[in-house]
Amino acid sequence: MNLEDYTEYKHKNFPATKKDARVPGETLLWYGKDQQEKDKTPEVMTLHLEQSRDWTDVDISYAWNSLGYRGPEPDYTANKKILLAGGSMLMGVGLPIEETLPVVLAKHFNADYLNLSDYDSLTEITEPLEQLGVDYDPDYVIIGDTRFVVENNWLMAFIKQKLKLHGVDIRKEDLQFFQQAFDNTNRSVLKVYNGFIRNLFPKAKVLFLIAPRKNFNFDTGFENQLTISKDYMVDLSRDNAHPGPNSIKAIAKEIIRRLEDG
């Protein structure tokens, strides 16, 4: 099975991993869960919220820069630079770009930014960080929460889904064992990944954003970790799933505090 076959199989059998194409230089009016026909897949972190804003006349678009990411062209000569990489929250799905986390942070620090998002697992951003992030030479690096830690974590969810679908009787103790084994592996991967990031960007302040969820629900033990709890979630973006502008401001405020104090 080559990479194309693998990708096609994954997207067919685990639809949550499928992304709209980010073609450099193009603009989309809808992306990910932010669709004209609303996605019915909820976000665990915002299940307790109801939509409080009328987004009807709000201009939202997803313009990809020459690298294929949302945001302006990176300025490699800027005096201060922020590198971000992660999932849909960092991309700002369902939000106008001026209300996204990268822009709020960039305005506060009077900095340029490069946002390598969005991806479904932390390890998926390894190659973009190496190929694009190192040359950017950022002052701050923010690694955002994604759906999984490693690329094959989607497989565990897929297996559990299939077992349930076909009525396969697996003991609760066995499933707990599998989950614990995956969690322990994820902790080890995260420790290695933290070292990898610090090695790539030795001069930068590094902060991991971790949002506990079903497949990512444990403490990393990092000193440079900010746990994004439900307390930060006060409103919704246009897609009725991702954090809204006030939630983003609350998260940004804590990130700024951590970066400035650290």
Can you give the CATH number for the domain in which 56 is found? 3.40.50.1110
3-state secondary structure 64-121: ECCCCCECCCCCCCCCCEEEEEECHHHHCCCCCHHHCHHHHHHHHHCCEEEEEECCCE
Q: What confidence score (pLDDT) does residue 216 get? A: 67
Q: What confidence score (pLDDT) does residue 262 get? A: 65
Residue with tokens 């009807």: 56
Q: Which distant-in-sequence residues (6+ apart) come within 8 Å of 197 by Cβ?
A: 129, 141, 143, 206
Q: Return mean pLDDT, the chain.
A: 88
Q: What confidence score (pLDDT) does residue 162 get? A: 76
Q: How many whole angstroms separate alpha carbon 123 and alpha carbon 20?
A: 19
Q: How many whole angstroms separate alpha carbon 62 and alpha carbon 29?
A: 6
Q: What confidence score (pLDDT) does residue 29 get? A: 94
Of 95, 188, 91, residue with least CA distance to 144: 91
**How many domains does the chain contain in total?**
1
Q: Which parts of the chain have pLDDT scores under 50?
A: none
DSSP per residue, 162-218: HHHHTT----HHHHHHHHHHHHHHHHHHHHHHHHHHHHH-TTSEEEEEE--BTTB-S
pTM listed for this prediction: 0.89
Structural domain boundaries, residue 207: 3-261
The two beta strands, 81-86 and 62-63, are unpaired
Q: What confidence score (pLDDT) does residue 253 get? A: 97
